[in-house]
Chain A
Amino acid sequence: MKEILTPCPHLHRRWRSVLLFLLWSIAPWSHAQTPVFEIEIREHLFFPAELVIPANQKVKLIIYNRDDTPEEFESYELNREKVIVGNSQGVVFIGPLKPGEYPFFGEFNMKTALGKIIAE
Protein backbone atom coordinates (compact mmCIF):
# COMPACT_ATOMS: atom_id res chain seq x y z
CA MET A 1 0.00 0.00 0.00
CA LYS A 2 3.02 2.32 -0.10
CA GLU A 3 3.79 4.55 -3.02
CA ILE A 4 5.67 7.78 -3.53
CA LEU A 5 4.14 10.02 -6.16
CA THR A 6 5.20 13.35 -7.59
CA PRO A 7 3.27 16.58 -6.99
CA CYS A 8 0.55 17.35 -9.51
CA PRO A 9 1.85 19.63 -12.29
CA HIS A 10 -1.68 20.49 -13.50
CA LEU A 11 -3.04 22.07 -10.33
CA HIS A 12 -3.86 25.45 -11.87
CA ARG A 13 -5.56 23.93 -14.90
CA ARG A 14 -7.68 21.74 -12.65
CA TRP A 15 -8.85 24.59 -10.43
CA ARG A 16 -9.56 26.68 -13.52
CA SER A 17 -11.86 23.89 -14.72
CA VAL A 18 -13.62 23.82 -11.36
CA LEU A 19 -14.03 27.62 -11.47
CA LEU A 20 -15.50 27.45 -14.98
CA PHE A 21 -17.94 24.78 -13.82
CA LEU A 22 -19.00 26.98 -10.87
CA LEU A 23 -19.60 30.00 -13.08
CA TRP A 24 -21.49 27.97 -15.65
CA SER A 25 -23.76 26.37 -13.08
CA ILE A 26 -24.95 29.63 -11.49
CA ALA A 27 -25.35 31.49 -14.77
CA PRO A 28 -28.26 33.93 -14.34
CA TRP A 29 -29.74 33.17 -17.75
CA SER A 30 -30.73 29.74 -16.50
CA HIS A 31 -34.02 31.05 -15.06
CA ALA A 32 -34.25 34.59 -16.42
CA GLN A 33 -37.84 34.32 -17.67
CA THR A 34 -39.24 31.48 -15.61
CA PRO A 35 -43.07 31.32 -15.61
CA VAL A 36 -44.60 31.27 -12.13
CA PHE A 37 -47.45 28.96 -11.04
CA GLU A 38 -49.15 28.64 -7.67
CA ILE A 39 -50.61 25.77 -5.67
CA GLU A 40 -52.38 25.94 -2.32
CA ILE A 41 -52.62 23.34 0.41
CA ARG A 42 -55.88 23.55 2.36
CA GLU A 43 -57.22 20.91 4.72
CA HIS A 44 -54.55 18.51 3.44
CA LEU A 45 -55.62 18.87 -0.20
CA PHE A 46 -53.83 20.49 -3.14
CA PHE A 47 -55.63 23.26 -5.07
CA PRO A 48 -55.54 22.86 -7.99
CA ALA A 49 -54.95 19.13 -7.87
CA GLU A 50 -54.05 19.20 -11.56
CA LEU A 51 -51.78 21.94 -12.82
CA VAL A 52 -51.03 22.43 -16.52
CA ILE A 53 -47.62 23.89 -17.31
CA PRO A 54 -45.74 24.39 -20.58
CA ALA A 55 -43.60 21.44 -21.66
CA ASN A 56 -39.87 21.82 -22.26
CA GLN A 57 -39.65 24.90 -20.05
CA LYS A 58 -38.56 25.42 -16.47
CA VAL A 59 -41.30 26.80 -14.20
CA LYS A 60 -41.33 28.21 -10.69
CA LEU A 61 -43.97 26.74 -8.45
CA ILE A 62 -44.98 28.65 -5.33
CA ILE A 63 -46.75 26.41 -2.84
CA TYR A 64 -48.83 28.07 -0.12
CA ASN A 65 -49.56 25.93 2.90
CA ARG A 66 -52.75 27.37 4.48
CA ASP A 67 -52.95 24.60 7.09
CA ASP A 68 -51.48 24.89 10.57
CA THR A 69 -49.48 21.71 10.12
CA PRO A 70 -46.45 21.15 7.85
CA GLU A 71 -46.77 19.35 4.54
CA GLU A 72 -44.21 17.94 2.15
CA PHE A 73 -44.63 18.34 -1.59
CA GLU A 74 -43.03 15.24 -3.01
CA SER A 75 -42.73 13.62 -6.42
CA TYR A 76 -40.25 10.97 -7.51
CA GLU A 77 -41.21 11.60 -11.14
CA LEU A 78 -40.30 15.29 -10.77
CA ASN A 79 -37.36 14.52 -8.46
CA ARG A 80 -38.60 17.12 -6.00
CA GLU A 81 -39.14 17.12 -2.26
CA LYS A 82 -39.99 20.22 -0.25
CA VAL A 83 -41.33 20.59 3.28
CA ILE A 84 -43.52 23.65 3.78
CA VAL A 85 -44.27 24.42 7.41
CA GLY A 86 -47.77 25.50 8.40
CA ASN A 87 -49.05 28.92 7.27
CA SER A 88 -46.05 29.60 5.07
CA GLN A 89 -44.96 29.17 1.48
CA GLY A 90 -42.23 27.33 -0.38
CA VAL A 91 -40.72 27.51 -3.83
CA VAL A 92 -40.06 24.53 -6.10
CA PHE A 93 -38.48 24.79 -9.54
CA ILE A 94 -39.53 22.04 -11.93
CA GLY A 95 -38.67 21.11 -15.47
CA PRO A 96 -38.00 21.48 -18.29
CA LEU A 97 -40.38 18.52 -18.61
CA LYS A 98 -41.27 16.40 -21.61
CA PRO A 99 -45.02 16.38 -22.40
CA GLY A 100 -46.79 14.06 -19.96
CA GLU A 101 -48.23 13.68 -16.49
CA TYR A 102 -46.15 13.82 -13.33
CA PRO A 103 -47.90 12.82 -10.09
CA PHE A 104 -47.09 14.46 -6.75
CA PHE A 105 -48.37 13.98 -3.22
CA GLY A 106 -48.21 15.41 0.27
CA GLU A 107 -45.99 13.09 2.23
CA PHE A 108 -47.65 13.79 5.58
CA ASN A 109 -51.16 13.17 4.23
CA MET A 110 -50.65 10.67 1.47
CA LYS A 111 -54.26 9.49 1.32
CA THR A 112 -55.73 12.93 0.63
CA ALA A 113 -53.01 15.25 -0.64
CA LEU A 114 -52.63 14.01 -4.22
CA GLY A 115 -52.16 15.83 -7.49
CA LYS A 116 -50.37 15.89 -10.80
CA ILE A 117 -48.47 18.26 -13.04
CA ILE A 118 -49.50 18.07 -16.70
CA ALA A 119 -46.85 19.29 -19.10
CA GLU A 120 -48.17 20.06 -22.58
Chain B
Amino acid sequence: MRSKRIAVAVLLSALSGSGQVLADNPLHHNGVGRIYDPYVQATEKELEFRSLYQWDDSAVEDGVMYQRLGYGFSVNDRVFAEAYAIASRFPDKSLAIEAYELEAKVQLTEQGEYNADWGLLVEYERELSESIAEIAATLISTRQWGDWVGTVNVGLEYEFGSDITDEIDRYLNAQWRYRYSPALEPGVEFYADEYTRGIGPVVAGTVRGQGRRKWTWEAGLIAPLNDTTPDSTFRFLLEYEF
Protein backbone atom coordinates (compact mmCIF):
# COMPACT_ATOMS: atom_id res chain seq x y z
CA MET B 1 0.00 0.00 0.00
CA ARG B 2 2.83 2.37 0.88
CA SER B 3 4.64 1.59 -2.37
CA LYS B 4 1.48 2.41 -4.32
CA ARG B 5 1.22 5.81 -2.61
CA ILE B 6 4.88 6.52 -3.40
CA ALA B 7 4.42 5.59 -7.05
CA VAL B 8 1.33 7.76 -7.46
CA ALA B 9 2.98 10.68 -5.64
CA VAL B 10 6.13 10.52 -7.77
CA LEU B 11 4.17 10.17 -10.99
CA LEU B 12 1.91 13.11 -10.13
CA SER B 13 4.95 15.16 -9.15
CA ALA B 14 6.64 14.44 -12.46
CA LEU B 15 3.47 15.23 -14.39
CA SER B 16 2.58 18.43 -12.57
CA GLY B 17 6.13 19.70 -12.73
CA SER B 18 6.16 19.62 -16.50
CA GLY B 19 3.52 22.32 -16.69
CA GLN B 20 5.46 25.40 -17.64
CA VAL B 21 7.87 25.98 -20.45
CA LEU B 22 9.12 28.19 -23.18
CA ALA B 23 8.27 30.15 -26.26
CA ASP B 24 5.99 30.42 -29.24
CA ASN B 25 4.31 27.43 -30.78
CA PRO B 26 5.84 26.49 -34.15
CA LEU B 27 3.45 26.10 -37.03
CA HIS B 28 1.47 22.83 -37.03
CA HIS B 29 3.12 21.42 -33.94
CA ASN B 30 1.12 18.82 -32.05
CA GLY B 31 2.75 16.66 -29.38
CA VAL B 32 -0.09 14.16 -29.21
CA GLY B 33 0.92 10.72 -30.50
CA ARG B 34 0.73 7.36 -28.85
CA ILE B 35 1.85 5.93 -25.54
CA TYR B 36 4.28 3.06 -26.01
CA ASP B 37 4.36 -0.01 -23.78
CA PRO B 38 7.76 -1.60 -23.06
CA TYR B 39 7.00 -5.12 -24.31
CA VAL B 40 8.43 -7.06 -27.26
CA GLN B 41 7.25 -10.47 -28.45
CA ALA B 42 9.50 -12.79 -30.44
CA THR B 43 8.49 -13.60 -34.05
CA GLU B 44 5.93 -10.79 -34.12
CA LYS B 45 5.12 -8.82 -37.28
CA GLU B 46 2.67 -5.97 -37.58
CA LEU B 47 1.16 -3.35 -39.82
CA GLU B 48 0.24 -0.09 -38.10
CA PHE B 49 -1.93 2.83 -39.14
CA ARG B 50 -2.14 6.02 -37.11
CA SER B 51 -4.18 9.13 -37.71
CA LEU B 52 -4.24 12.47 -35.90
CA TYR B 53 -6.78 15.21 -36.63
CA GLN B 54 -6.88 18.56 -34.89
CA TRP B 55 -9.43 21.35 -34.54
CA ASP B 56 -8.46 24.89 -33.62
CA ASP B 57 -9.85 28.42 -33.70
CA SER B 58 -6.79 29.46 -35.71
CA ALA B 59 -7.46 28.98 -39.43
CA VAL B 60 -3.88 27.83 -40.12
CA GLU B 61 -4.11 25.11 -37.48
CA ASP B 62 -7.70 23.98 -37.96
CA GLY B 63 -8.14 20.73 -39.89
CA VAL B 64 -4.49 19.73 -39.81
CA MET B 65 -4.17 15.96 -40.16
CA TYR B 66 -1.26 13.56 -39.80
CA GLN B 67 -1.28 9.94 -40.89
CA ARG B 68 1.36 7.27 -40.73
CA LEU B 69 1.62 3.74 -42.01
CA GLY B 70 4.22 1.42 -40.59
CA TYR B 71 5.57 -2.10 -40.82
CA GLY B 72 7.34 -3.64 -37.86
CA PHE B 73 8.88 -6.91 -36.85
CA SER B 74 10.66 -8.31 -33.83
CA VAL B 75 14.38 -8.90 -34.32
CA ASN B 76 14.41 -11.20 -31.30
CA ASP B 77 12.54 -11.42 -27.98
CA ARG B 78 14.02 -8.08 -26.84
CA VAL B 79 14.13 -5.80 -29.89
CA PHE B 80 11.30 -4.63 -32.17
CA ALA B 81 12.03 -2.53 -35.27
CA GLU B 82 9.50 -0.50 -37.27
CA ALA B 83 9.56 1.82 -40.29
CA TYR B 84 6.89 4.42 -41.06
CA ALA B 85 5.85 6.65 -43.92
CA ILE B 86 4.35 9.85 -42.50
CA ALA B 87 1.82 11.95 -44.38
CA SER B 88 0.34 15.29 -43.42
CA ARG B 89 -2.41 17.58 -44.64
CA PHE B 90 -2.50 21.32 -43.91
CA PRO B 91 -5.18 23.91 -44.74
CA ASP B 92 -3.18 25.08 -47.76
CA LYS B 93 -1.88 21.65 -48.85
CA SER B 94 -3.45 18.32 -49.63
CA LEU B 95 -2.42 15.07 -47.99
CA ALA B 96 1.10 14.04 -49.02
CA ILE B 97 3.93 11.93 -47.67
CA GLU B 98 6.29 14.33 -45.93
CA ALA B 99 8.67 12.18 -43.90
CA TYR B 100 9.80 8.73 -42.93
CA GLU B 101 10.72 7.36 -39.53
CA LEU B 102 12.71 4.40 -38.25
CA GLU B 103 12.34 3.21 -34.70
CA ALA B 104 13.62 0.44 -32.46
CA LYS B 105 12.09 -0.59 -29.16
CA VAL B 106 14.10 -2.55 -26.61
CA GLN B 107 12.43 -4.43 -23.76
CA LEU B 108 14.74 -3.97 -20.79
CA THR B 109 13.05 -6.07 -18.10
CA GLU B 110 10.70 -9.06 -18.00
CA GLN B 111 7.07 -8.20 -17.41
CA GLY B 112 6.36 -8.35 -13.68
CA GLU B 113 10.00 -8.90 -12.74
CA TYR B 114 10.32 -5.59 -10.88
CA ASN B 115 7.90 -3.08 -9.44
CA ALA B 116 7.70 -1.50 -12.88
CA ASP B 117 8.47 -2.83 -16.37
CA TRP B 118 11.01 -0.93 -18.49
CA GLY B 119 11.74 -0.36 -22.14
CA LEU B 120 13.68 2.03 -24.36
CA LEU B 121 12.57 3.50 -27.68
CA VAL B 122 14.99 5.07 -30.16
CA GLU B 123 13.63 6.97 -33.19
CA TYR B 124 15.01 8.71 -36.29
CA GLU B 125 12.73 10.88 -38.42
CA ARG B 126 13.66 12.66 -41.67
CA GLU B 127 11.65 15.17 -43.69
CA LEU B 128 11.65 14.45 -47.42
CA SER B 129 11.38 17.98 -48.85
CA GLU B 130 13.40 19.89 -46.25
CA SER B 131 16.67 19.39 -44.46
CA ILE B 132 15.08 18.62 -41.10
CA ALA B 133 15.71 15.50 -39.04
CA GLU B 134 15.29 14.43 -35.48
CA ILE B 135 16.53 11.66 -33.26
CA ALA B 136 14.75 10.79 -30.04
CA ALA B 137 15.19 8.46 -27.11
CA THR B 138 12.27 7.54 -24.87
CA LEU B 139 12.32 5.70 -21.59
CA ILE B 140 9.18 3.62 -21.17
CA SER B 141 7.83 2.47 -17.83
CA THR B 142 4.67 0.53 -17.04
CA ARG B 143 3.22 -0.45 -13.68
CA GLN B 144 0.10 -2.46 -12.88
CA TRP B 145 -2.15 -1.82 -9.90
CA GLY B 146 -4.87 -4.48 -9.92
CA ASP B 147 -6.97 -3.86 -13.02
CA TRP B 148 -5.29 -0.50 -13.66
CA VAL B 149 -2.16 -0.05 -15.75
CA GLY B 150 -0.10 3.15 -15.75
CA THR B 151 2.45 3.86 -18.47
CA VAL B 152 4.87 6.77 -18.69
CA ASN B 153 7.03 7.74 -21.70
CA VAL B 154 9.76 10.25 -20.90
CA GLY B 155 12.16 11.35 -23.61
CA LEU B 156 14.52 13.75 -25.27
CA GLU B 157 14.60 14.64 -28.96
CA TYR B 158 17.23 16.47 -30.95
CA GLU B 159 16.12 18.34 -34.07
CA PHE B 160 18.75 19.31 -36.58
CA GLY B 161 19.29 20.26 -40.21
CA SER B 162 19.95 23.28 -42.41
CA ASP B 163 16.25 24.24 -42.54
CA ILE B 164 15.80 24.35 -38.77
CA THR B 165 17.51 25.75 -35.73
CA ASP B 166 19.11 22.83 -33.91
CA GLU B 167 17.47 22.24 -30.55
CA ILE B 168 16.82 19.65 -27.88
CA ASP B 169 13.27 19.16 -26.62
CA ARG B 170 11.93 16.99 -23.87
CA TYR B 171 8.55 15.34 -23.48
CA LEU B 172 6.50 13.34 -21.04
CA ASN B 173 3.46 11.32 -22.10
CA ALA B 174 1.40 9.13 -19.79
CA GLN B 175 -1.57 6.81 -19.89
CA TRP B 176 -3.75 5.44 -17.11
CA ARG B 177 -5.87 2.54 -18.38
CA TYR B 178 -8.51 0.23 -16.87
CA ARG B 179 -8.40 -3.42 -18.00
CA TYR B 180 -12.14 -3.94 -18.35
CA SER B 181 -12.02 -6.59 -21.08
CA PRO B 182 -9.64 -7.51 -23.95
CA ALA B 183 -11.80 -5.64 -26.46
CA LEU B 184 -12.45 -2.55 -24.34
CA GLU B 185 -10.04 -0.76 -22.05
CA PRO B 186 -10.93 2.86 -21.22
CA GLY B 187 -8.35 5.27 -19.87
CA VAL B 188 -6.92 8.74 -19.72
CA GLU B 189 -3.87 10.13 -21.54
CA PHE B 190 -1.66 13.12 -20.85
CA TYR B 191 0.80 14.69 -23.28
CA ALA B 192 3.43 17.30 -22.49
CA ASP B 193 6.31 18.68 -24.52
CA GLU B 194 7.80 22.11 -25.03
CA TYR B 195 4.52 23.46 -26.43
CA THR B 196 1.87 20.81 -25.88
CA ARG B 197 -0.12 20.22 -22.72
CA GLY B 198 -3.10 17.96 -23.36
CA ILE B 199 -5.27 15.49 -21.52
CA GLY B 200 -8.26 13.41 -22.49
CA PRO B 201 -10.06 10.08 -22.60
CA VAL B 202 -8.88 7.12 -24.63
CA VAL B 203 -10.37 3.71 -25.36
CA ALA B 204 -8.35 0.74 -26.56
CA GLY B 205 -8.93 -2.90 -27.26
CA THR B 206 -7.77 -6.05 -29.00
CA VAL B 207 -9.84 -8.33 -31.19
CA ARG B 208 -8.40 -11.76 -31.85
CA GLY B 209 -8.42 -13.48 -35.21
CA GLN B 210 -7.24 -16.96 -36.12
CA GLY B 211 -3.85 -18.14 -34.90
CA ARG B 212 -1.70 -15.21 -33.89
CA ARG B 213 -3.67 -12.65 -35.89
CA LYS B 214 -4.82 -9.76 -33.75
CA TRP B 215 -6.33 -6.35 -34.34
CA THR B 216 -5.48 -3.69 -31.77
CA TRP B 217 -7.19 -0.32 -31.82
CA GLU B 218 -6.94 2.89 -29.83
CA ALA B 219 -8.94 6.12 -30.06
CA GLY B 220 -8.55 9.24 -27.96
CA LEU B 221 -9.74 12.83 -27.79
CA ILE B 222 -7.24 15.21 -26.25
CA ALA B 223 -8.18 18.62 -24.87
CA PRO B 224 -5.68 21.43 -24.30
CA LEU B 225 -4.30 22.50 -20.93
CA ASN B 226 -2.52 25.57 -22.35
CA ASP B 227 -2.90 28.04 -25.21
CA THR B 228 -0.24 26.45 -27.40
CA THR B 229 -2.08 23.15 -27.80
CA PRO B 230 -4.80 22.75 -30.48
CA ASP B 231 -8.36 23.13 -29.18
CA SER B 232 -9.06 19.46 -29.75
CA THR B 233 -7.08 16.51 -31.11
CA PHE B 234 -8.51 13.17 -32.17
CA ARG B 235 -6.11 10.28 -32.46
CA PHE B 236 -6.74 6.81 -33.85
CA LEU B 237 -4.52 3.76 -34.12
CA LEU B 238 -5.08 0.40 -35.75
CA GLU B 239 -2.53 -2.43 -35.59
CA TYR B 240 -2.70 -5.74 -37.39
CA GLU B 241 -0.47 -8.31 -35.77
CA PHE B 242 0.44 -11.49 -37.57
Question: In the bound complex, how far is the Cα of B226 from the Cα of A31, in angstroms?
Answer: 42
A112 to B141, CA, bound (A): 34
Are B115 and A6 closer than 8 Å at their CB atoms? no
Question: Given the interface contacts A14-B17, A27-B115, A81-B39, does A91 sit within 8 Å of B228 by beta carbon?
Answer: no
- The answer to whether A5 and B115 touch across the interface, beta carbons within 8 angstroms, is no
Q: How many B residues face the partner with a CB closer than 8 A?
A: 49
With contacts A21-B7, A81-B41 taken as known, whether A31 is within 8 angstroms of B114 at the C-beta atoms is: yes
Instruction: Please encode chain B, from 24 to 48, with 1 for each CB lying within 8 Å of some chain A CB and 0 for all others.
Output: 1100000000000001011110000
- Determine whether B73 belongs to the interface, using a CB cutoff of 8 Å to chain A: no
Residues on A with beta carbons closer than 8 Å to the beta carbon of B17: 8, 10, 13-14, 17
- Interfacial chain B residues near A84, Cβ < 8 Å: 42
A-chain residues with CB within 8 Å of residue B6 when the two chains form the complex: 24
Measured CB to CB, the closest approach of chain A to B119, in angstroms, equals: 12
Say whether B24 contacts A2, CB under 8 Å.
Answer: yes
A79 touches B7 (CB 8 A): no
Decide yes or no: A92 and B110 within 8 Å by CB, A1-B61, A4-B24 being known contacts.
Answer: yes
- Any B CB within 8 A of the CB of A42: no
- Is A116 positioned at the interface, with any CB of B under 8 Å from its CB? no
Given contacts A2-B25, A5-B22, A24-B6, contact A72 B13 (CB under 8 A): no
In the complex, are the beta carbons of B56 and A25 less than 8 A apart? no
Cβ distance B39 to chain A, nearest Cβ, rounded Å: 7
- A92 to B112: give the CA distance in the assembly, Å: 8
Chain B positions within 8 Å of A20 at CB level: 10
Q: Would you call A80 and B111 a contact (CB within 8 A)?
A: yes
- Give bound CA distance, A58 to B144, whole Å: 13
Within 8 A of A (CB), among B174-214: 179, 181-182, 211-212
Tell me whether A76 and B182 are in contact (CB under 8 A): yes
Contact A83 B41 (CB under 8 A): yes
Is residue B165 within 8 Å, beta carbon to beta carbon, of the partner chain? no
B105 at the interface (CB under 8 A from A): no
- Against B, the Cβ 8 Å flags (1 = close, 0 = not) of A14-34 are 100110110011110011000
Question: What is the interface residue range for chain A against chain B?
Answer: 35 or more
Question: Could you tell me if B42 and A85 are in contact, using CB atoms closer than 8 angstroms?
Answer: yes
Those of A33-80 within 8 Å (CB) of chain B = 58, 70, 72, 76, 79-80
Residue B18 at the chain A interface, CB threshold 8 Å: yes
- CA separation between A113 and B116, bound complex, in Å? 29
| Interface pair B42/A3, CB less than 8 Å apart | no
User: What's the least CB distance linking B49 to chain A, in Å?
Assistant: 22
Distance in Å from the Cβ of A103 to the closest Cβ of chain B? 13
- Report the minimum CB–CB distance from B150 to chain A (whole Å): 11
Q: Contacts of A83 on B, CB cut-off 8 Å?
A: 41-44, 77
B21: CB under 8 A from chain A? yes
**Residues of chain A with a CB closer than 8 A to B24's CB:** 2-4
* Distance A76 CA – B180 CA, assembled complex (angstroms): 10
Q: Which residues of A contact B112 (CB under 8 A)?
A: 58, 80, 92-95
Q: A13-B17, A24-B3 are in contact. List 20 more A-B contacts (CB 8 A).
A: A1-B56, A1-B229, A2-B227, A3-B24, A3-B228, A4-B24, A14-B18, A18-B10, A24-B6, A25-B143, A26-B115, A26-B116, A26-B118, A27-B114, A72-B41, A76-B182, A80-B112, A81-B39, A85-B42, A93-B112
